[in-house]
């Protein structure tokens, strides 16, 4: 079954009193693209997190956020005491040389680049944090995938309704196409017969049959009808396929290509069939295909 590219998942867990909160949001995108936001002290996890995201998701814009709560200040950052001391001494020398009084705002100095540094965990601690964060990420991912599956089910129902409408219109076109040539034959015979009667000439049935045959050949849309019907079957099969089986796990791209082919066949039918009733059915088909194209943009 198809999955939507829109979803949200959230999970949290604790390790040594620190709460780790993971949020994952996804929206539609032609390719896979991840935006990962981590605290500076957790930057070493970015590659592992992206690898997990790529393993679970094939398409979509992925926004990943990791937040830390209840974390002690001495664990969150460290002060470059040597650099801070050197800066204070330098400011004192400058004030003395200019013979001015200068009060040092240590809080302001801490905002300078490099004064506060993230505290990086040691190797053993980093392994524990990695296991915990990836476990929480997987929980959030499972929640996200459930939502995407639910959205996908709604998408599938909508796509199916449009395909059914296209199929009904196609059946009307198929039944109408057989009557178009016969109707053209009748109208042409009546028109030519009227013109020849005024000139007291006899209608050449062979010539009339030849003209009708030429029109029948030019307006034959049986192949286009068969191909469009085949595209509808392929579309339905792709929607029913398990993710990972169809189109290398990216069903949305396959569906997008099929809808392009549907529109191509509909345009050909409209150009070949010189019949107002068929044209009306084609217009409805093209509207439905446009709707399909719009909807499949959100299919993974």
Cα 166 to Cα 231: distance, rounded to the nearest angstrom = 11
Confidence (pLDDT) at 47: 96
pLDDT by residue for the chain (300 residues), tens only, comes to 788 999 999 999 998 888 999 999 999 998 899 999 998 888 999 999 999 999 999 889 999 999 998 876 555 566 667 777 787 777 777 777 877 777 777 777 767 776 666 666 778 888 999 999 999 999 999 999 999 999 999 999 999 999 999 999 999 998 887 766 566 556 555 555 554 555 544 555 666 556 555 555 566 788 889 999 999 999 998 888 755 444 445 788 889 999 999 999 999 988 887 778 888 999 999 999 999 999 999 998
Q: Report which of 280, 269, 173 is spatially closest to residue 218, judged by C-alpha positions.
A: 269
Q: What DSSP element (H or E) covers 78?
A: strand 77-79
pLDDT at 248 (0 to 100): 46
C-alpha–C-alpha distance, residues 104 and 97, integer Å: 16
How many Cβ atoms are within 10 Å of 234's Cβ, its own excluded? 16
127 token code pair: 């392994």
* Closest to 34 measured CA to CA, from 8, 67, 4, 58: 58
Q: Please state, as a whole number, how many other Cβ atoms lie within 10 Å of the Cβ of residue 32.
A: 18
Residue 26, both tokens: 């996804």
* Residue 10 CA to its chain's centroid (Å): 21
Enumerate the domain spans of the chain.
81-109, 152-296
pLDDT for the residue 189: 54
Cβ–Cβ contacts within 10 Å for residue 46, how many?
Answer: 15
229 alpha-carbon distance from chain centroid: 25
The count of C-alpha atoms lying within 13 angstroms of the C-alpha of 131, restricted to the half-sphere facing its C-beta, is: 6
pLDDT at 275: 78
Torsion angle, alpha carbons of 159, 163, 165, 171, to 10: 180
Q: Which of 228, 248, 207 is nearest to 32 (CA)?
A: 248
- End-to-end Cα, the chain, rounded Å: 10
Count of residues in the chain: 300
- Distance CA(291)–CA(206), nearest Å, equals 47
Strands (E) across 144-285 are located at none
Burial of 289 (0-12, 13-18, 19+ CB in 10 A): buried
Number of neighbours of residue 274 by Cβ within 10 angstroms: 13
Burial of residue 278 (number of CB atoms within 10 Å: 0-12, 13-18, 19+):
buried
Q: What pLDDT is recorded for position 246?
A: 43
pLDDT at 205: 62
pLDDT value of position 218: 60
pLDDT of residue 208: 55
Q: What is the pLDDT, as a whole number, of residue 97? A: 81
pLDDT at site 45? 95
Contact 104, 91 (CB under 8 A): yes
């Amino acid at each position: 079954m198809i999955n939507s590219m829109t979803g949200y998942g959230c999970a949290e867990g604790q390790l040594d009193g620190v709460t780790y909160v993971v949020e994952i949001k996804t929206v539609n995108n032609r390719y896979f693209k991840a935006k990962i936001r981590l605290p500076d002290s957790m930057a070493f996890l970015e590659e592992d997190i992206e690898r997990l995201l790529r393993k679970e998701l094939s398409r979509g814009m992925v926004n990943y956020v990791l937040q830390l709560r209840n974390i002690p200040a001495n664990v969150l950052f460290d002060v470059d005491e040597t650099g801070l001391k050197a800066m204070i001494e330098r400011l004192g020398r400058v004030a003395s040389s200019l013979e001015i009084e200068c009060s040092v705002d240590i809080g302001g100095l801490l905002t300078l680049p490099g004064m506060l540094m993230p505290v990086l965990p040691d190797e053993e601690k980093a392994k524990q944090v990695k296991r915990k964060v990836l476990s929480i990420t997987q929980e959030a991912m499972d929640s996200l995938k459930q939502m995407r599956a639910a959205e996908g089910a709604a998408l599938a129902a909508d796509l199916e309704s449009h395909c059914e409408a296209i199929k009904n219109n196609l059946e009307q076109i198929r039944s109408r196409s057989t009557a178009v040539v016969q109707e053209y034959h009748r109208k042409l015979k009546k028109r030519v017969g009227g013109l020849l009667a005024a000139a007291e000439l006899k209608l050449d049935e062979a010539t009339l049959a030849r003209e009708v045959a030429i029109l029948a050949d030019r307006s034959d849309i049986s192949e286009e009808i068969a191909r469009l019907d085949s595209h509808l079957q392929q579309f339905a099969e792709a929607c029913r396929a398990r993710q990972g089986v169809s189109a290398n796990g990216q069903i949305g791209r396959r569906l997008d290509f099929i809808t392009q082919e549907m529109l191509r066949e509909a345009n050909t039918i409209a150009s070949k069939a010189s019949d107002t009733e068929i044209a009306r059915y084609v217009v409805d088909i093209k509207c439905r295909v446009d709707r399909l194209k719009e909807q499949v943009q959100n299919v993974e």
